[in-house]
Amino acid sequence: MALDEQLPRPTDAELEILAVLWSIGPATVRQVYELISQRRPAQYSTILKFMQIMTEKGLVVRDEESRAHVYKASRSREWTQRQLAGHLLERAFSGSAKALLIGALSAKKTSKSELAELQKLLDEYAARAK
């Protein structure tokens, strides 16, 4: 699919709309607007305009069968994530960001074999508890 590769990198505003579509699934402009305005002041007409442009670019697909137009993202979330993460600057910055990250998991990932071992440990514990 040569067309896929030519899909432009979404701008920040477009990315926000895409994130909403991935979060709640296919949605109308009204639904997207409501979720975005929870977080920051936004205009319905602006969101509508953006989504029309994104349709032209091929970032979202409009389903015109129902009365209210339902939009969905044209590409999967993972595809876009890979597209964004491949960017050179993104790589450099996200690498250094690990120093300031705090979260349930460390930035260092666990290997697959270790994960299997972990699973075994948990099962053993559950079996013993019974």
Binding test (CB under 8 A) with other proteins, winner from 1, 88, 105, 127: 105
The stretch among 1-9, 35-43, 48-56, 64-72 that binds other proteins (CB under 8 A) is 35-43
Contact by Cβ (8 Å): 55, 61: yes
Collapsing DSSP to helix, strand or coil, 61 comes out as strand
Report the nearest approach of other proteins to the CB of residue 28 (Å).
16
Residue type, 122: L
Instruction: Specify the residue for token string 């205009």.
Output: 43
Residues 6+ apart with CB under 8 A from 47: 17, 29, 32, 33, 36
Report the nearest approach of other proteins to the CB of residue 34 (Å).
10
CA distance 33 to 2: 32
CA distance 60 to 73: 4
Size of residue set near other proteins by CB under 8 A: 53
Report the nearest approach of other proteins to the CB of residue 74 (Å).
15
**Which lies closer to other proteins via its Cβ, residue 67 or residue 128?**
128
Q: Annotate each residue in 42-81 with x if it binds other proteins (CB under 8 A) or - if it does not, as one string.
A: -----------------------------------xx-xx
Q: Is 20 in the site for other proteins (CB under 8 A)?
A: yes
